[in-house]
Structure 1
Amino acid sequence: MSETTPRTSDPYRTTDDVATRYCTSPSTVRYWRHAGIGPRGVKIGRRVLYRESELMRWERERDAEQNGGTAVA
């Protein structure tokens, strides 16, 4: 495991990991971040990483928007 991806209960995911998770391309994930419509990433050095908890929050928010529910933080 590299220094930028510490072993924690809330691990970081790379842009490639996020793209694989959502069956899309890394460029789409970068576009989402640039447009402010994707999960929030954190820049560490030259890399943008995404916390697992942030991906789960973003998924709940999408689910709530699409199914008429309320997002739970």
Structure 2
Amino acid sequence: MNNTSRPAPERYLQATDCEALTGIPAATWRYWAHIGAGPASFKLGRRRVWRLSVIEAWIAEQEANTQTGGAA
């Protein structure tokens, strides 16, 4: 038996999934994709999708770039 560990499969989100995750409306996710803004997305068949890992990295980047407050 081979005990090699495999990385977890990537999860792909549609605009409504991105809305549920972030609270940003699905229409905004679709608009950003249309104008080439926001996190990277691509077509998977006929559907536009975002990788969960890319969304999470984008959220972390937004937090790092806009964070205020907190004690130093």
Q: How high is the TM-score relative to the length of structure 1?
A: 0.69
Determine the C-alpha separation between the residues in 2 that align with 1:48 and 1:33: 8
Q: Greater relative contact order: 1 or 2 (C-alpha under 8 angstroms, separation 6 or more)?
A: 2
RMSD: 1.8
> 3-state DSSP class of the match of 1:58?
helix
Query: 1:40 offset after TM fit, Å?
Result: 0.9
Partner of 1:40: 40
Q: Kindly provide the CA deviation profile for residues 21-67 of structure 1, in whole angstroms up to 9, marking residues without a partner as x.
A: 11132111112223333111111121111111101111111011102
Count of matched residue positions in the alignment of Structure 1 and Structure 2:
61
Determine the C-alpha separation between the residues in 2 that align with 1:65 and 1:54: 16
Structure 2: runs of 5+ lacking an equivalent = 1-7
Partner of 2:21: 21
Runs of 4+, deviation exceeding 6 Å? none
Question: Larger Rg: 1 or 2?
Answer: 2
Determine the C-alpha separation between the residues in 1 that align with 2:10 and 2:46: 20
Structure 1: runs of 5+ lacking an equivalent = 1-7, 69-73
Determine the C-alpha separation between the residues in 1 that align with 2:46 and 2:58: 23
Q: How high is the TM-score relative to the length of structure 2?
A: 0.70
Paired letter, 1:35: I
